[in-house]
Structure 1
Amino acid sequence: TLLTIHFIYRYLAVVAPEKLRIFSNWKFFASLAFYLVAHACLYTYVILALIPEYETLELTEARSQLAIRIDRTIDNGWLSISYWRNGQIVENSLLLIVIANFIQGINLTITIGFAILTFRAIRRTANHASKSSNKFQMQLFVAICAQ
């Protein structure tokens, strides 16, 4: 989600630098913060609501092996999710995977969309902007993609 916001910023920096002032507007900033918090809350709620609350043999073994290897015990947090139980797929685990991937897929789609738009805008402005400016924008774009 932060990377999505970064690509939106980079897109505006290339296409309409005068519109970057919107990132200084407290209402816009609050809406971005709300988006980040809502995303995190939704993701956490889905995980908490759908993770089975039973102790499996695999989970017990994973905890004991982890305690041996790192000399710490983990009682809280999500160590692992059991997808199979008694030869059947655990429906909550499958639903968790589907919903989590859907949430991540939406963000990925938006991010890729702005990445493509930014790349195309940099290529389009190559004839209008200076070579150093265009090279700098492309370097920033590559750096964001590397993240």
Structure 2
Amino acid sequence: LVSQGLLEIFTIVEHINIGTGIICNMILLYLVRRFSRASMGTYKYLLIIFASYDFFLTAVHGTINHQVVIVNITTFAANLTSFYCASFTVPFTLMIIHFLYRYWAIKCPDRIILFSDKRFMCLLASFSLSGFVTWYCLCIFGLTGAVDEVSTIAAREEYYRRYKRNVTDSYLIAEHWKDGKFNFRPALVLFCFDSIIFSCITLASTLCILTLHHIAKADAISAYSKYLHQKLLKTLIAQTVLPVVLVYIPYFCILSLPFLSIPDYGLTAACTAFNSSFPAVDAIIVVVLMKDYRVGLVSMFLGRRKATPTVSIGAIPT
């Protein structure tokens, strides 16, 4: 059992993460709009979209205040609404779009203009929306949580024991074993969840590897252009590792461990603390790894802006 003191620590961490996430992403939005060099082109708008969504995620987390508990190796999610679950699929689909941009920037630079085309942007938006809708529907139609169900009552009691709050509904329950019998529906939902997670990671990894390969093989661009491509890609890789470590791995564990009858060893208590830290850490990573924004942030506190030279890189978009 997780100690009450540890639960209180995780709750404090969540509150700190929410405040930090809002502040950091507001600062990042300002830095991107103020200090992005012209050579970044439309890529800065992708950064704006991502920072805006991180801000939204932080607000959603603070509003819903969800928690996860496990009773008898069965996952119960208190206040973990379908909307909240689905909202964390969007950052990774946005990462895939970022990788596509970076891949085209080095392999097919003539296609970058598509990111200024409204129809293509609608197609990309539908890609992110499809992941959200799929996860949402799986939660709504694949999981249970009626107020009068025995499993819901057990979850309510465990939730009250942990957090001293009496939440009567809004539970999403994956009851893998019911009355000693295997329950197929939550197992199918689990398979779909894990498939989405691994598909996103595989697609992002493939685009990353291809981009690294073409950067290494590029002969028609200057050394500075190659350096800039590598720098932006490294930042994107760091951004991609964050949702994997802070969101997808915890999600995978809390969904899969109960099915395998493996104790969570406190992960359910820490899960929301991990999730809530993602938006703030993501913004910090971008500022730290991208010199223009790092210098811009320093200049904000020093009251002056250090000049950042704009270097032309010809027809190669970044």
Contact preservation (8 Å) 1:83, 1:94:
yes
Deviations 1:122-145 (A, max 9, x none): 1111x4433222222112111111
**Is 1:22 aligned with 2:114?**
yes
Rounded Cα–Cα distance in structure 1 between residues aligned with 2:112 and 2:171: 39
Using the size of structure 2 for normalisation, the TM-score is 0.41
The residue correspondences of 1:91-110 to structure 2 (distance < 5 A) are 91-110=184-203
Rounded Cα–Cα distance in structure 1 between residues aligned with 2:140 and 2:226: 46
Partner of 1:111: 204
In the TM superposition, residue 88 of structure 1 has moved relative to its aligned partner by 2.8
The residue correspondences of 1:61-100 to structure 2 (distance < 5 A) are 61-68=157-164, 73=167, 75-76=169-170, 78=172, 81-100=174-193
SS in 1 for 2:224: helix
Partner of 1:7: 99
SS in 1 for 2:175: coil
Contact preservation (8 Å) 1:67, 1:73:
no
Using the size of structure 1 for normalisation, the TM-score is 0.82
- Greater length-normalized contact order (CA 8 Å, ≥ 6 residues apart): 1
- Amino acid corresponding to residue 76 of structure 1 in structure 2: S
Contact preservation (8 Å) 2:176, 2:183:
yes
Rounded Cα–Cα distance in structure 2 between residues aligned with 1:118 and 1:74: 50
SS in 2 for 1:62: helix
The alignment yields a C-alpha RMSD, in angstroms, of: 2.2
In the TM superposition, residue 74 of structure 1 has moved relative to its aligned partner by 7.2
Rounded Cα–Cα distance in structure 1 between residues aligned with 2:214 and 2:190: 35
**Is 1:48 aligned with 2:140?**
yes
Rounded Cα–Cα distance in structure 2 between residues aligned with 1:66 and 1:22: 51
Rounded Cα–Cα distance in structure 1 between residues aligned with 2:109 and 2:166: 50
> Where in structure 1 do 4 or more consecutive aligned residues deviate above 3 Å?
71-75
In the TM superposition, residue 50 of structure 1 has moved relative to its aligned partner by 0.9
Q: Does the C-alpha gap of structure 1 residues 113 and 104 become closer, same or farther in structure 2, counting only changes over 3 Å?
A: same
Rounded Cα–Cα distance in structure 2 between residues aligned with 1:144 and 1:72: 42
Q: Does the C-alpha gap of structure 1 residues 123 and 62 become closer, same or farther in structure 2, counting only changes over 3 Å?
A: farther
Query: 1:130 is matched with which residue: 222, 226, 238?
Result: 222
Contact preservation (8 Å) 2:104, 2:111:
yes
Rounded Cα–Cα distance in structure 1 between residues aligned with 2:94 and 2:124: 9
Rounded Cα–Cα distance in structure 2 between residues aligned with 1:118 and 1:111: 11
| Structure 1 gap segments, 5+ residues each | none
In the TM superposition, residue 82 of structure 1 has moved relative to its aligned partner by 2.8
Stretch deviating more after TM superposition (49-58 or 23-32): 49-58
In the TM superposition, residue 72 of structure 1 has moved relative to its aligned partner by 7.4
In the TM superposition, residue 58 of structure 1 has moved relative to its aligned partner by 4.1
Contact preservation (8 Å) 1:82, 1:93:
yes
Deviations 1:72-122 (A, max 9, x none): 7473253x5332233333211111110112223332222121111111011
Contact preservation (8 Å) 1:122, 1:138:
yes
Rounded Cα–Cα distance in structure 2 between residues aligned with 1:28 and 1:119: 25
Partner of 2:214: 121
Q: Does the C-alpha gap of structure 1 residues 61 and 72 become closer, same or farther in structure 2, counting only changes over 3 Å?
A: closer
